[in-house]
A and B are shown apart, each in its own frame.
Chain A
């Protein structure tokens, strides 16, 4: 309902949105400051040790790979890497935080500056600035028992699971450059693709390994000052992000138009009720008493180290999209789709290679985006898990290309490949599907068909060229569907024209 009103609201009001994106570095073997393994779920309090439980006397030891991952992310997003950096303690009491301080970063984050150019369909791309990327440790998880829906209100007691506590958490803070929910959605989704490409996280929003919070305010177009902002939390998907922002923009605009004010507060997105609501928790004016973490020495990074990491950057999504468009002559949309799905892109490239090289790109892309994607969706498979390997698909494309089977036959063969896992050549032989490309055989059948249908031949020659389809159909029927359609066409046209 509010979503429908968004375009109208945005004509009058300008939305100002900044995102804070927390990404758990799930691909690390160990947590940020101890040797405990990183994994989702599990029996509560089984992946813990003195360090991540905050037992007396335990000390944090920084995970070098977590720092490298963060710097890689910074390099991929055009950030400046701080020549020296350090952790700070952020002090506040909460039961899910074992030490009652979080080791985080304050005025010396690993990465500052940077930007993402967000692609907007049919419009100019929008550049969103990145303020900083820093590293911190995640908290444990609380379960409230006895209240409704696991909420703290009305709960009789709470349980804490520290399995997640101490997992490396990379926080990216954007500039308030975002103006629409769609830009926000695309920005977050492009970041996710970059992090996936770098291999630093599985970025699973439902499991919370990627969490997006948004600061939202509205102001009349042309006004320089920002309006009062609300922080919106609990958006567990890109769709939720889009919907929550749409709702919140309209809500704030309505509030202001009715002569009210927007409260500076944290709001919770309820995906079921499709609305944000104030958390109404006792709002403390938090003073986090940041100070440099004395259990670790500051980090310094020389140019060799940073350039070494830069050289190890994989091909990033933007570059991959451009390469697909260029090297395989793919239309923009095909290149976008293939480059935004890492698994599908890798499958595609392997199949193109197996099929004989870039000139086969378009034909392979058609298959990958068509029947192959449909097959993946139908069976909820990842590209790598399909029985139709890139090599088998490549073979199928080749068999069409060299005229062994027709495109139509190929679709049937593909269906058999999915069903049986057989190679295309085996299926073609088993079903006797070989396409007839012998010109003598085709000519004989054509002559027979023309002789049997003199009236239609006359009609065609008198200008009813649409009858060509009738002749093709008759010839193909005669040949049990195995005639090479291109050759059949060619022979028919030569005979009829003569």
Chain B
């Protein structure tokens, strides 16, 4: 009988293959079996890659047969957001403009995961070019939340979150520019980390906003989050913004407990209008639990963070408008066949290729950078960014970890916010300041409300991911949250 990936952790898979309890090939089969039962409803993937996965599994199985030591993530079925280059796949960014674009090289983070032994099972659906918070802005149709198929999985990395939540993959990678890992993590009950800016190479991920983007993992457990970080972190000569730090094992200090750790609840963010009081209560209850375990809990304000949203919607689109210029139909991607001249080629290829949210952001960003508006918009937004960084610096002088909900509400219905961009943008209100400050943050499931997961966001000072995992592990161990959604359970 086929194994159930919802019930196996990455560590168990690696050790099980090494002990010859099962094979890596069986892990691919387990993934494909789950895909066959739920993917039709969930639509987490743009592309399933059994060929790549079986080939990788054969290599792992050969190593196991030869009695060689296996790499740390050997045989772990893993999914990648469809903005990460991987040879042998199309990298579409869920956009018509890149629908047929074949990757000719590997994204560094993907390459490092492969080197750690994972089996690439597919490329995940996303909001087009990562513009969105629901994965509804995909040219290939929305992804559905495995906890309630009428609801969104969050976004933009909604496919990556849903793939892990539904047990089609054990790990996945997403990218986070304003919450695109943590927000879907919260809405799907997965552990979802945005590392410090510079921790993980951005080489090979199709850029949204270069100064904000960061790759990070989804997993069912905090331990697996640490294992995935171990694999993807580190200096990359191909990314000038990646940082050179000594290697560390992010899982090693995880079980040390929270005794004496200073934890600050961000009061002014928690009290924001629009935050579901039940979400607020769940977060407060979780913090109380940490206090019982010996953490020193206090409250702190981050007054500049209320300006994070407008600043983000200047900086993000400004950089995006420039990053997306290259999709012009000249060298690759969608091109109208009958262009009159080069201007006609640009205008029509791009108008046909980009979806409405992409066009909205490109126009916003182009406007914000225009002569005469630069200082009022981009310049001002950069000043806000500096103020937010100062807020966090002050807070981290007093606290090791800051806490907010990850999202103001649990998963919302498909179509509920699609017509109102601003209400959609507000679902990232807690996550955006983290990207503007470049600090690490993780969303850990802490409760459920009406059968939908609630995530707590833990934020740390630059390069302090290990402390976040320590707190996350404590939350995980005291919580009775079960990360396996009913959809999959009934399928067993």
- Of the listed residues A60, A101, A295, the one surrounded by the most CB atoms of chain B closer than 10 A to its CB is A295
The answer to whether B322 touches A91, judged by C-beta atoms less than 8 angstroms apart, is yes
Q: Residue on B with the closest CB to A162?
A: B331
The answer to whether A289 touches B366, judged by C-beta atoms less than 8 angstroms apart, is yes
CA distance A54 to B85 in the complex (A): 14
Q: Which of B83, B209, B328 contacts A93 (CB 8 A)?
A: B328
CA distance A58 to B378 in the complex (A): 24
CA distance A99 to B211 in the complex (A): 17
Q: Mark B295-329, 1 if CB is under 8 A from A, else 0.
A: 00000000000000000000000110110011110
Interfacial chain B residues near A11, Cβ < 8 Å = none
- Of the listed residues A60, A91, A294, A296, the one surrounded by the most CB atoms of chain B closer than 10 A to its CB is A294
With A294-B319, A295-B210, A295-B240: A57-B91 Cβ-Cβ less than 8 Å: yes
With A56-B101, A160-B330: A289-B370 Cβ-Cβ less than 8 Å: yes
Q: Residue on A with the closest CB to B333?
A: A56
With A56-B91, A57-B85, A297-B241: A50-B206 Cβ-Cβ less than 8 Å: no
Let me know if A55 is at the binding interface, CB within 8 A: yes
Interfacial chain A residues near B211, Cβ < 8 Å = 294
Q: Which of A53-100 contact B (CB under 8 A)?
A: 53-62, 89, 91, 93, 95, 98-100
The answer to whether A57 touches B342, judged by C-beta atoms less than 8 angstroms apart, is no
The answer to whether B240 touches A57, judged by C-beta atoms less than 8 angstroms apart, is no
Q: Which of B161-220 contact A (CB under 8 A)?
A: 202-207, 209-211
Interfacial chain B residues near A59, Cβ < 8 Å = 202-203, 207, 238-240
Interfacial chain A residues near B331, Cβ < 8 Å = 53-54, 98, 160
Interfacial chain B residues near A158, Cβ < 8 Å = 342
The answer to whether A93 touches B346, judged by C-beta atoms less than 8 angstroms apart, is yes
CA distance A59 to B319 in the complex (A): 14
The answer to whether A62 touches B240, judged by C-beta atoms less than 8 angstroms apart, is yes
Smallest distance from the beta carbon of A158 to chain B beta carbons, Å? 8
CA distance A53 to B203 in the complex (A): 14
Let me know if A287 is at the binding interface, CB within 8 A: yes
Let me know if A291 is at the binding interface, CB within 8 A: yes
The answer to whether B328 touches A100, judged by C-beta atoms less than 8 angstroms apart, is yes
The answer to whether B203 touches A57, judged by C-beta atoms less than 8 angstroms apart, is yes
Interfacial chain B residues near A53, Cβ < 8 Å = 331
The answer to whether A289 touches B322, judged by C-beta atoms less than 8 angstroms apart, is yes
Let me know if B55 is at the binding interface, CB within 8 A: no
Let me know if B126 is at the binding interface, CB within 8 A: no
Q: Mark A274-294, 1 if CB is under 8 A from B, else 0.
A: 000000000000010111001
The answer to whether A99 touches B325, judged by C-beta atoms less than 8 angstroms apart, is yes
Q: Residue on A with the closest CB to B213?
A: A294
Number of interface residues of A (CB under 8 A): 29
Interfacial chain A residues near B439, Cβ < 8 Å = none
Q: Residue on B with the closest CB to A93?
A: B346
CA distance A69 to B327 in the complex (A): 33
Q: Which of A57, A91, A296 contacts B369 (CB 8 A)?
A: A91
- Of the listed residues B203, B318, B325, the one surrounded by the most CB atoms of chain A closer than 10 A to its CB is B325
The answer to whether A57 touches B328, judged by C-beta atoms less than 8 angstroms apart, is no
The answer to whether A57 touches B238, judged by C-beta atoms less than 8 angstroms apart, is no
Interfacial chain B residues near A99, Cβ < 8 Å = 325-326
With A99-B326, A291-B318, A294-B211: A55-B238 Cβ-Cβ less than 8 Å: no
Interfacial chain A residues near B209, Cβ < 8 Å = 294
The answer to whether A296 touches B330, judged by C-beta atoms less than 8 angstroms apart, is no
Q: Mark B349-379, 1 if CB is under 8 A from A, else 0.
A: 0000000000000000010011100100010
With A98-B326, A160-B330: A56-B206 Cβ-Cβ less than 8 Å: yes
The answer to whether B346 touches A50, judged by C-beta atoms less than 8 angstroms apart, is no
The answer to whether A57 touches B104, judged by C-beta atoms less than 8 angstroms apart, is no
With A56-B101, A296-B240: A101-B325 Cβ-Cβ less than 8 Å: yes
Interfacial chain B residues near A60, Cβ < 8 Å = 240
Smallest distance from the beta carbon of A226 to chain B beta carbons, Å? 22
With A57-B205, A91-B322, A295-B210: A287-B238 Cβ-Cβ less than 8 Å: no
Smallest distance from the beta carbon of B238 to chain A beta carbons, Å? 6
Q: Which of A8-63 contact B (CB under 8 A)?
A: 50, 53-62
Interfacial chain B residues near A58, Cβ < 8 Å = 105, 203-204
The answer to whether B369 touches A50, judged by C-beta atoms less than 8 angstroms apart, is no
Interfacial chain B residues near A93, Cβ < 8 Å = 325, 328, 346
The answer to whether A56 touches B85, judged by C-beta atoms less than 8 angstroms apart, is yes
Q: Mark B8-29, 1 if CB is under 8 A from A, else 0.
A: 0000000000000000000000
With A50-B105, A98-B326, A101-B325: A55-B240 Cβ-Cβ less than 8 Å: no
Q: Which of A61, A101, A287, A297 contacts B371 (CB 8 A)?
A: A287
CA distance A55 to B93 in the complex (A): 13
Let me know if B5 is at the binding interface, CB within 8 A: no
Interfacial chain B residues near A160, Cβ < 8 Å = 330-331
CA distance A160 to B342 in the complex (A): 13
Interfacial chain B residues near A287, Cβ < 8 Å = 370-371
Q: Residue on B with the closest CB to A51?
A: B238
Q: Residue on B with the closest CB to A99?
A: B326
Interfacial chain B residues near A55, Cβ < 8 Å = 104-105, 332
Interfacial chain A residues near B330, Cβ < 8 Å = 95, 160
Interfacial chain A residues near B321, Cβ < 8 Å = 91, 289
With A54-B331, A59-B240, A91-B322: A294-B98 Cβ-Cβ less than 8 Å: no
- Of the listed residues B241, B322, B366, the one surrounded by the most CB atoms of chain A closer than 10 A to its CB is B322
Q: Residue on A with the closest CB to B350?
A: A93
The answer to whether A295 touches B374, judged by C-beta atoms less than 8 angstroms apart, is no
CA distance A295 to B239 in the complex (A): 8
Q: Residue on B with the closest CB to A54?
A: B326
Interfacial chain A residues near B93, Cβ < 8 Å = 56
- Of the listed residues A53, A95, A158, the one surrounded by the most CB atoms of chain B closer than 10 A to its CB is A95
Q: Residue on A with the closest CB to B342?
A: A95
- Of the listed residues B204, B237, B327, the one surrounded by the most CB atoms of chain A closer than 10 A to its CB is B204
Q: Residue on B with the closest CB to A296?
A: B240
CA distance A289 to B373 in the complex (A): 10
Q: Which of A160-205 contact B (CB under 8 A)?
A: 160
Smallest distance from the beta carbon of A103 to chain B beta carbons, Å? 11
Let me know if B107 is at the binding interface, CB within 8 A: yes
Q: Residue on A with the closest CB to B106?
A: A57
CA distance A400 to B135 in the complex (A): 90
Interfacial chain A residues near B328, Cβ < 8 Å = 93, 95, 100
The answer to whether B369 touches A291, judged by C-beta atoms less than 8 angstroms apart, is yes
Interfacial chain A residues near B98, Cβ < 8 Å = 56
Smallest distance from the beta carbon of B197 to chain A beta carbons, Å? 10
CA distance A95 to B370 in the complex (A): 22
Smallest distance from the beta carbon of B223 to chain A beta carbons, Å? 30
Interfacial chain B residues near A291, Cβ < 8 Å = 318-319, 322, 369, 374, 378
Q: Which of B76-111 contact A (CB under 8 A)?
A: 83-85, 91, 93, 98, 101, 104-105, 107
CA distance A61 to B239 in the complex (A): 6
Interfacial chain A residues near B238, Cβ < 8 Å = 59, 61
Smallest distance from the beta carbon of B242 to chain A beta carbons, Å? 9
CA distance A383 to B407 in the complex (A): 74
Smallest distance from the beta carbon of A285 to chain B beta carbons, Å? 9
The answer to whether A56 touches B326, judged by C-beta atoms less than 8 angstroms apart, is yes
Q: Residue on A with the closest CB to B207?
A: A57
The answer to whether A57 touches B370, judged by C-beta atoms less than 8 angstroms apart, is no
CA distance A158 to B332 in the complex (A): 16
Besides A91-B321, A289-B366, A291-B318, 17 other CB < 8 A contacts? A50-B105, A55-B332, A57-B83, A57-B84, A57-B204, A59-B207, A59-B239, A60-B240, A91-B322, A95-B330, A101-B325, A287-B371, A289-B322, A289-B370, A289-B371, A294-B211, A295-B241
CB within 8 Å of B: which residues of A?
A: 50, 53-62, 89, 91, 93, 95, 98-101, 158, 160, 287, 289-291, 294-297
**20 pairs of residues in contact across A and B, judged by CB atoms under 8 Å:** A50-B104, A53-B331, A54-B331, A56-B101, A57-B204, A57-B205, A57-B206, A58-B203, A58-B204, A60-B240, A61-B239, A91-B325, A99-B325, A100-B328, A158-B342, A287-B370, A289-B371, A291-B319, A291-B322, A295-B240
Across the A-B interface, give the 8 residue pairs with the lowest CB-CB distance, nearest first: A100-B325, A294-B210, A289-B369, A294-B211, A56-B206, A57-B204, A54-B326, A296-B240
